[in-house]
Amino acid sequence: MMLRGIRGATTVEKNDEKDILLATYELLNQMIIHNHVEPEKVASVFISATPDMTEAFPAKALREFKGWKFVPVMCMQELDVPGGLERCIRVMIHYNTSSSQKDIQHIYLENAVSLRPDLSNEE
């Protein structure tokens, strides 16, 4: 077993609590499903949001998953870089797994596909 990072990102249309939480939930759900993530093997989860996201803590969406109560999660602000992707939520799950790095499935949804088209699951 080795600690690996599982990356993911998504965007929302507007700075709205419901939209932020739904988008974050969908992103986390896809990351968990595609990588067969078990909460007991998760060391921690970092979630960042761009400065234009002020209506909710995206990390709140993680608490909707059964069995994730004791997983340490930290929410933070993404760097405010000129020309950066707006209304973007990024997730890094630190996961203990026997999977190789090339077998980790990173998930990029909505406009966040533009961040890493080489890793997106879209065709």
| Domain coordinates in residue numbering, the chain | 2-115
For 100, phi and psi rounded to 5 degrees?
Answer: -80, 165
Residue 121 in this model has a pLDDT that exceeds 60: no
The CATH fold of domain 2-115: 60s Ribosomal Protein L30; Chain: A; (3.30.1330)
Residues with active-site annotation: 7, 63, 75, 78, 90, 108, 116
Q: 107: closest CA among 45, 30, 53?
A: 30
3-class secondary structure, 72: coil
| pLDDT tens-place string over residues 24-79 | 999 999 999 999 999 999 999 999 999 999 999 999 999 999 999 999 999 999 99
Task: Determine the pLDDT at residue 118.
Answer: 80
Residue 120's pLDDT is 56
**pLDDT at site 116:** 84
